[in-house]
Amino acid sequence: MNPALVEAARSGDEEAFASIVRGSSDRLFVVAHRILRDVGRAEDAVQQALVTAWRELPTLRETERFDAWLHRILVHACYAEAKRASKWSANVVVLPIDGPATPDTTQDIVTRDALDRGFRRLPTEQRAAFVLHHYLGWSVAEIAENLGVPSETIKSRLRYATSTLRAAIDADSRTTRTTSVERLA
Amino acid sequence: MNENEFELAARAYLEDGPTRMSDYAVSSTLEEIHATRQRRAVRRAWWSDRMTSYAKLTAAAAAVLVVAVVGYAVPGGPGPTKPTPTAPPFGPAGNGIIAFEQLGDILVADRPGGDTRPLVAGPEFDSEPVFSPDGTRLAFGRATDAESVLMVADADGTNVVQVTTGERFLYWSFAPDGRSVVGITWIDGDPRIIVRPIDPAAPPTVLDIDLRLGGQELYELGGPRFRPTNAQEILIKAQPDPDGPPGIYVYDLATGDIRKIVEPAGCSNDTKWAPGCYVHDVAWSPTGESITYNLGSVPRIVAADGSGDRASDDLRDWISPSSNDGTRFVVDLDIFPVGELDTHPGDDSYLREAVVRIDGIGEPVELACGLGMQVECASSWIWSPDDSMLIGTVPHQGSSTYLQADPATGQVTELDWAGDGTPTWQRVALAALSSPGDGSLPVGPYVVGGRLHGEDRVTVTVPAAGWFAPDKGWFQPDKGSVTKDLGGDDVTVAIVPGDYYTMPPNICNWQGDDADPAGEKYWPSTADELVAYLTEQTYDTPDGSAPRDLSAPEDITVGGSHGQRISYTYPDSDASACDEQRFCILQDRDGWGCLLSHQGPGSLDTLWVVDPPENRNYLLVVAASGSPSPALRDEVDTLVNSMTFYNE
């Protein structure tokens, strides 16, 4: 993130912040979508996060932390969006709009479906930790500091997210193997 | 699927999906930004040491005003009467209410699975409640748009105050008395440890120690922690010497003194990440008498005064805090490590948890949860204040499921609660609240705090008025003791904790490797053996070593078990040249700490040693020390002879 843009925006330059929005919205949207698994909610969360960042930017004293700070606001917006959704809507499975870039093998499809089922069972906090770690490549320490929670909490969230997803894959692979055996019999 | 395959699959899954926000959403966002006014920055000058008195007064007045507004706007909820006397900050206590979050409100229940009621409810989004160690206050986070703020209320939900104002405040924890919190904040870009009183009118204290940490190092700091026994000492990891390595220190709030605990030898700032130099995961023991930490990958333990630093193999990866009596914790059993899942097809017992003892004695108590069982295992567990129950949290999408477990049998049941996040359990005084009013114990049965070696409760019958349970101690919350003070005629009767006792041959030179070059240390397993060896212990005199004066031992029966009672006088020698300037009678099984020492000249000390009930491995050792009159001595006899120990 261009520090000069952040400084200017912090001083009230709306055009500078608009540049920040155009340059970061896709990146933020991807993170929000991977957490919420819903395009509409992800766009709502990103919009809320950017509006909040604009409003609160003068209170940010360390401009070099802008990116981490913005991601924290985004994650909080995802939490809020998830809670709003859980109050008002039933479980609706949303299929991804874009398919994979390369053709899938049957096993890839099975694994991805299993991951998707497992991922949707995760609470939002675990999803966020998983996305920040495995998609953005943040370390446990970075996630902990940027979200303002203890590193032990992040470790615990990652551990259980991983366990749940692996269990989902494992359960599916046993079903697949069983089915294959039955077909052969 | 091995770890690498899982990592690749997870990454592919996360990369799969839309990658662009719609043009309409971006335009809509820019329009809303245009319609939104930026917040004005507020200088938080009251942190600064350079502030003028006038500015401080203004800030304090503003803080009071904020409190008044917040206190008016936030409704409190019904709740229990404030507990009196307050619970000790560590060790077992009585079970108060249980609090957890539900959809942004804080709910409470009187027992696991009991009916819930709101404690803090309103339009704000509140979460992560935590009771103070003494059970009098409840802290929780309140979400604002950009940051979270820390709120504290009385345990009944009243008097809600805002402690922080949106600035970063990480790794915080309560003082034992619940009157302040300590954490890390940033001042002029530097991380500093700050103690924030719950009273917003009281100024915070910034510790005068440079953490000299930044970037990745800061996150390894962990949280500064008050000592469980007092609100004066704070355990910290810091690097005061820029050229030296990070170390462990205890900061005294009253004096500003910094006591060194550990500074890895032969290390420097350049080598601070080397295995023999890297200090991390620093914590007080449950009783505050020692400090545990990791040096590289090696867990170690050191006394609170910095002595006796040694490696320990008793520290493992816990998924719960230790029990309040410091003897047990919950672990993942990892029956099938992740990489071996493929070799156990169809086995769905892959997730298993158990309660284990810290000292490794006995078999783990497996919890009846996990894949294939009727309930899932929890991601975290908390102990009831009296250590008789566990509550586990199983997180799900949008909410959590709660479990109750019996740590003695492993039975697990699902509770009829819906909430989010880890609950917190209020600690209240173990003793009956119907006290005479002066804080003394009522005449009649009294359950001594804690359990003998995590197993048995001990009760005594308080024989007369004037007996008190101290509010601090090293093992049990009341030191496993009762005391009576009649102004010069006093006595303290204490249960001496210890898994197994060792006895030094020489009670003056009792510490360290040179204390027992001939391997003569004694490990009594019966009351008779312990008392017999008392007669063989010696101390140093100008004429050589000599045995102490001991009374003839008497056979006794306590709680239906055989025992012996013996009295002894203070050795006729100067203890100033002894280890820790005292004569040590009993040590713990590792032989590096002293559990029981001779009291001062003029003190009449008596020891009761009792064999345990069947199937127990401990000795019950009770010591009475003081200068009791004959009448008071009779009360002591009555009290000790009334002792019973049993397993609930």
Instruction: Render pLDDT for B127-167 as a digit per residue (tens, 0 to 9).
Output: 889 999 888 899 998 876 666 788 999 998 988 998 887 77
Peptide bond into B85 cis (omega under 30): yes
Task: Specify the higher pLDDT residue, B472 or A17.
Answer: A17
Q: Which residues of B touch A43 (CB under 8 A)?
A: 21-22, 25
What is the pLDDT at residue B624?
A: 80
Give the confidence band of A132 by pLDDT, cuts at 50, 70, 90: very high
Strand partners, B89: none
What is the pLDDT at residue B89?
A: 67
Is pLDDT of B93 > 90? no
Q: What is the mean pLDDT of residues B623-637?
A: 76
| Percent over 90 (pLDDT), chain A | 21
| Tokens (6 digits) for B630 | 């004959």
The mean pLDDT value of chain A amounts to 76
Give the confidence band of B499 by pLDDT, cuts at 50, 70, 90: low
Contact predicate B46/B56, CB 8 Å = yes
Give the confidence band of B231 by pLDDT, cuts at 50, 70, 90: confident
Query: Tokens 């049993």 correspond to what residue?
Result: B646
Contact predicate B310/B265, CB 8 Å = no
Q: How far apart are CA A132 and CA B14, in angstroms?
A: 10
3-class SS letters over B216-232: HHHHCCCCCEECCCCCC
pLDDT, tens only, B441-497: 777 777 665 555 555 667 777 777 777 776 533 333 344 566 776 656 677 777 775
What is the pLDDT at residue B589?
A: 62
Q: Which of residues 62-101 of B touch A (CB under 8 A)?
A: none
Please tell me the distance in Å from A185's CA to the nearest CA on chain B. 19
Q: Do A130 and B10 touch (CB under 8 A)?
A: yes
Q: Which residues of A touch B222 (CB under 8 A)?
A: 150-151
Task: Specify the higher pLDDT residue, B347 or B82.
Answer: B347
Q: Which residues of A touch B215 (CB under 8 A)?
A: none
Is pLDDT of B585 > 60? yes
Q: Which residue of B has its CA nearest to A35?
A: B14
What is the pLDDT at residue B167?
A: 73
Q: Do A58 and B219 touch (CB under 8 A)?
A: no
Please tell me the distance in Å from B28's CA to the nearest CA on chain A. 8
Q: Which residue of A has its CA nearest to B377?
A: A160
Give the confidence band of B519 by pLDDT, cuts at 50, 70, 90: low
Please tell me the distance in Å from B171's CA to the nearest CA on chain A. 6
Contact predicate B240/B210, CB 8 Å = yes
Q: What is the mean pLDDT of residues B515-530?
A: 74
pLDDT, tens only, B375-415: 878 878 899 988 889 999 887 656 788 999 999 889 999 99
Q: Kindly indicate whether the ipTM for this predicted assembly is greater than 0.90, answering yes or no.
A: no
The mean pLDDT value of chain B amounts to 74
Please tell me the distance in Å from B146's CA to the nearest CA on chain A. 6
Is pLDDT of B191 > 70? yes
Name which of B12, B41, B397 is nearest A123 (Cβ-Cβ): B397
Task: Specify the higher pLDDT residue, B347 or B605.
Answer: B605
Q: What is the mean pLDDT of residues A96-100?
A: 38
Q: Which residue of A has its CA nearest to B13?
A: A112
Task: Specify the higher pLDDT residue, B628 or B142.
Answer: B142
Is pLDDT of B168 > 90? no
Q: Do B398 and A125 touch (CB under 8 A)?
A: no
What is the pLDDT at residue B5?
A: 81
Is pLDDT of A54 > 80? yes
What is the pLDDT at residue B83?
A: 30
Strand partners, B258: B251
What is the pLDDT at residue B647?
A: 52
What is the pLDDT at residue B313?
A: 53
Is pLDDT of A72 > 80? yes
Q: Do A83 and B143 touch (CB under 8 A)?
A: no
Residue A116 backbone dihedrals phi, psi, to 5 degrees: -65, -45
Q: What is the mean pLDDT of residues B69-79?
A: 23
Q: How far apart are CA B272 and CA A165, in angstroms?
A: 36
Query: Tokens 């001779």 correspond to what residue?
Result: B598
Q: How far is CA B102 from CA B97, B128, B272, B509, in A?
A: 16, 10, 44, 59
Name which of B6, B17, B41 is nearest A33 (Cβ-Cβ): B17
Is pLDDT of A178 > 50? no
Q: Do B6 and A43 touch (CB under 8 A)?
A: no
What is the pLDDT at residue B437?
A: 54
Name which of B22, B220, B346 is nearest A174 (Cβ-Cβ): B346
What is the pLDDT at residue B432?
A: 38
What is the pLDDT at residue B107?
A: 94
Q: How far apart are CA B563 and CA B557, in angstroms?
A: 6
